[in-house]
Amino acid sequence: MRVLVIEDDAEMAEAIAVGLRRERMTVDVALDGRSGLARAVDNDYDVIVLDRDLPGLHGDTLCEQLVADGIRGRILMLTAAASNDDLVDGLGLGADDYLTKPFDFPVLVARIGALARRAHPAVPPVLRHGDVVVDTARRRAYRGERQVELTPKEFGVLEVLLAAQGRTVSAEELLERVWDEFADPFTNAVKITMSRLRGKLGDPPIIETVAKSGYRI
């Protein structure tokens, strides 16, 4: 799952990003509205966490622009205002959900997870193939009765492959979906992560390499 956090409070933005990365999410951060818009347009995010009170380009305007541009990512708006009018206004601008500050971090994680599933409505919250199970809500993976301890990147790769339901997924698509905006397109990170993921999943292997195309379950 790839998330963009647009928040002008650098300390809060970093705290959110660190927490979400611990939940095995890939996170990019923008500290103002204009850079947030540029990142949202240039990258494919599942969820955009958008602070309403942004400098330069206000969160309301940014939200409207993202919706007008047809951005696929779901928008979770953050605000210090807690009135019903603010809630109605935020949702009326095209936001998919609304969370007031201060908030409990587990609630933020749950809301992001729910929105990500709506971004991919055909994908169930629990992905299965044989005895391999990925719980996308709790961010856990299992093989049989054994919980498989995966890094965020390994979890993301497995999640994307299972969600593809047998479709071949290219290394480029995996970089786009699982790594952040600073990923080197010429890196062998996907190959290395795939090797480690296969080792952790064990036998019989479930991930097939498709020559010159990518990987599939």
pLDDT in tens, 64-80: 888 888 788 899 998 87
Closest CA to 168 of 123, 211, 120, 119: 211
Please provide the average confidence, as pLDDT, over all residues in the chain: 86
Over 90: is that where the pLDDT of 139 sits? no
Q: Residue 157 CB: number of other CB atoms within 10 A?
A: 24
Tell me the residue type at 148: V
Give pLDDT tens digits for 158-182.
999 998 888 999 988 888 888 876 6
Q: What percent of the chain has pLDDT over 90?
A: 44
Tokens 């169930």 locate to: 124
Distance CA 11, CA 25 (A): 19
pLDDT at 107: 92
Q: Where are the domains of the chain?
A: 2-119, 126-216
Reported as type and span, the H/E element at residue 48 is strand 47-51
pLDDT band at 12 (very low <50, low <70, confident <90, very high): very high
pTM: 0.63
- Kindly state the greatest CA–CA separation across the chain: 56
Structure tokens at 150: 């995966």
Contact 3, 45 (CB under 8 A): yes
Distance CA 181, CA 164 (A): 22
Q: Domain 2-119 has what CATH class? A: alpha beta
The DSSP annotation for 145-170 comes to TEEE---HHHHHHHHHHHHTTT--B-
Q: Is 216 helix (H, G, I), strand (E, B) or coil?
A: strand
Domains 2-119 and 126-216 share a fold: no
* Lowest mean per-residue pLDDT among 21-35, 66-80, 169-183, 199-213: 169-183
Q: Is 2.60.120.10 the CATH classification of the domain at 126-216?
A: no
Distance CA 78, CA 101 (A): 7
pLDDT at 217: 92
Q: Which residue has the higher pLDDT, 82 or 125?
A: 125
Contact 125, 135 (CB under 8 A): yes
Q: Residue 58 CB: number of other CB atoms within 10 A?
A: 14
Over 60: is that where the pLDDT of 56 sits? yes
Give pLDDT tens digits for 94-133.
788 888 888 899 999 999 988 887 665 545 678 899 999 9
Contact 214, 170 (CB under 8 A): yes
